[in-house]
Structure 1
Amino acid sequence: MVSKGEDEVRKIKKAVFDGKKEEPKLTDLPGIGPAVAAKLESAGVYDMMSLAVMSPGELSDIAGVSQGVARKAIQASRSMLNLGFIDGVEYAKKRDNIIHITTGSKNIDNLLGGKGVESRAVTEAFGAYGSGKTQLGLTLAVNVQLPLEKGGGNGKCVFIDTEGTFRPLRIRQIAESLGANPEKVLKNIFVARAFNSDHQILLLEKISEMIKEGEPIKLLIVDSLTAHFRAEFSGRGQLADRQQKLNKYMHNLMRLAEQHNLAVYVTNQVMSNPAQMFGDPTVAIGGNIVGHASTYRIYLRRGKKDSRVAKLIDSPNLPDNETVFYLANSGVVDEESQ
């Protein structure tokens, strides 16, 4: 026998499929009324997909409902969204709307497959101070505003600043080199200074709210990813707590990128591995937690004279490789004279 809740879900799915109803809302789910939906929205859960990927325990804690009600709501949302297996051809079609944002350097773009930083992916750049991590982020913040045909995302940028690295003057320089209006470019970059890891986590929830309100955000930059986590959990006895909190944050970044088809670029600090007897002892902070969650990992370091070296060390579809780039008034470039 079909329950009343299951019957309602089927009716909503049919109406959406037939074009007679808009995309389902949270209040269409069994057990989710206006009051519960308001609680979810205040926690950053605005759409069906955000709820569908939650666990019953997580939904129960946020919405103040029993785990039984939470489980039914999650099952209904997954049914409406037709979450499950699809064949490779269908999956390839779903990736047709992936966008790429040029880094400003053909060399780095080619390192990343030819077009730049990819949406629905987390790109991590780690390296020592002065290696070019922030400069690459600032260049991307400008380039995302370019039209799609010019290597941009035709959208806006969110810049979460944890170390006080965002500089409007630098944005103006890069924008002017492209012939763009510096003030208009700055207007399309939303900057937030995160003062601790909890604040940094909270800011991710605000991004979903901004997108729901119509802001065409296509790039999220976090500079730097691990600074607060590293400072707040400094002792070895706190390492497990730090990694657990960082793991959740990384998965929230991945979820945000996937749900809204935006690119995520994060910078990461490094340390020296004292056990490394030969070769480069530099390792990224965050260990396997950050490494597994990052789709693309780039190691940046200083090269000869004023050059920088970018080395791709992890990617799901590209070989390890490295290239040279420079930093100029126009941002990240291929030639020293630019």
Structure 2
Amino acid sequence: MICFGNKLDDLLGGGVSDSLVTHIFGPPASGKTNLALMASVAALGKGKVIYIDPEGGFSVERIRQLACDRFHEVLGNILLVKPTTFDEQKLAFARLDELVTSMKVSLIVVDSIAMLYRMEEDKDVRMLGRMLAQLLRVARKYELPVLLTNQVYSDYETKVTRPIGGTIGEYFTKNMVELVRNHDGTRHAILRRHISKHEGEGLEFRIVDSGIEVVSEFCTTENPL
């Protein structure tokens, strides 16, 4: 398990759990990459981080802010994979077994799974399903935590914001957190699904140099999933 060292751990039932895919979804600039980078820094000393970055959002400068004097050590602990096409992303997923068995790995990050998929002309949601199944298989087989970020869309009929992939994504990921950016620049992290906790718990937080600063905790009865 990878722990953030703040209230996010309580929200997630301890942290980013082993043998599961933790799914963080939200619109642009809601904080998805920030949480992915925070988890990567927190993994230092436990093993390598495989960071698959289809979105191109990996920030060395943000790692520098988060890691401070451990910057070079943290950066050297991250294996960065930057696919630029959906085929390259599929290849990166296909290599996960090889990578995990060739080194001590503590965390797999995918940020975000849907970026290159949305650029495909012939979209087939089953392709995303196969990738998610692959991530879950690797998480279970090697008892590893997997942190997945995802973009969102507005459902035409219900007007509800949902993660790309819809019910397929929900099937393969048992722990799901929705991020929302507020008008005042704060963010909400809302637990939408969890393997052992009640849904609807939430945090209001700000993004700061050291990671996040929690403003308040809350609970909502609304669950659009």
Could you tell me the TM-score, scaled by structure 1's length? 0.60
Match of 1:133 among 32, 48, 58: 32
CA RMSD of aligned residues (A): 1.8
> Cα distance, 1:204 vs. partner?
2.2
Q: Distance in 1 between matches of 2:169 and 2:202?
A: 21
Amino acid at match of 2:28: Y
Match of 1:265 among 138, 141, 147: 147
2:220 is matched with none
Match of 2:75 among 177, 186, 191: 186
User: Which one has a larger percent strand, Structure 1 or Structure 2?
Assistant: 2
> Cα distance, 1:104 vs. partner?
4.1
SS at match of 1:181: helix
Work out whether residues 182 and 188 of structure 2, in 8 Å CA contact, stay in contact via their aligned partners in 1: yes
Deviating 4+ runs (over 3 angstroms): none
Work out whether residues 20 and 139 of structure 2, in 8 Å CA contact, stay in contact via their aligned partners in 1: yes
> Cα distance, 1:303 vs. partner?
3.2
Structure 1 unmatched runs, 5+: 1-99, 147-153
Query: Share of identical aligned residues, percent?
Result: 33
Work out whether residues 203 and 214 of structure 2, in 8 Å CA contact, stay in contact via their aligned partners in 1: no
Q: Distance in 1 between matches of 2:146 and 2:195?
A: 16
2:219 is matched with none
Q: Distance in 1 between matches of 2:165 and 2:60?
A: 29
2:61 is matched with 169
Q: Distance in 2 between matches of 1:322 and 1:210?
A: 35
1:285-324 aligned within 5 A: 285-303=164-182, 305-320=184-199, 321-324=201-204
Amino acid at match of 2:179: L
Structure 2 unmatched runs, 5+: 217-225
Which structure is higher in RCO with an 8 Å CA cutoff and minimum separation 6?
Answer: 2
**Whose radius of gyration is greater, 1 or 2?**
1
Deviations 1:197-250 (A, max 9, x none): 22112112333222322x2111111111111112204xxxx55xx122111111
SS at match of 1:198: helix
Work out whether residues 104 and 333 of structure 1, in 8 Å CA contact, stay in contact via their aligned partners in 2: no
Q: Distance in 2 between matches of 1:207 and 1:271?
A: 28
User: Which one has a larger percent helix, Structure 1 or Structure 2?
Assistant: 1
2:110 is matched with 222
Work out whether residues 204 and 215 of structure 2, in 8 Å CA contact, stay in contact via their aligned partners in 1: no
Deviations 1:247-268 (A, max 9, x none): 1111110011111111111111
Q: Distance in 2 between matches of 1:263 and 1:229?
A: 23
Amino acid at match of 2:12: L
Work out whether residues 141 and 219 of structure 1, in 8 Å CA contact, stay in contact via their aligned partners in 2: yes
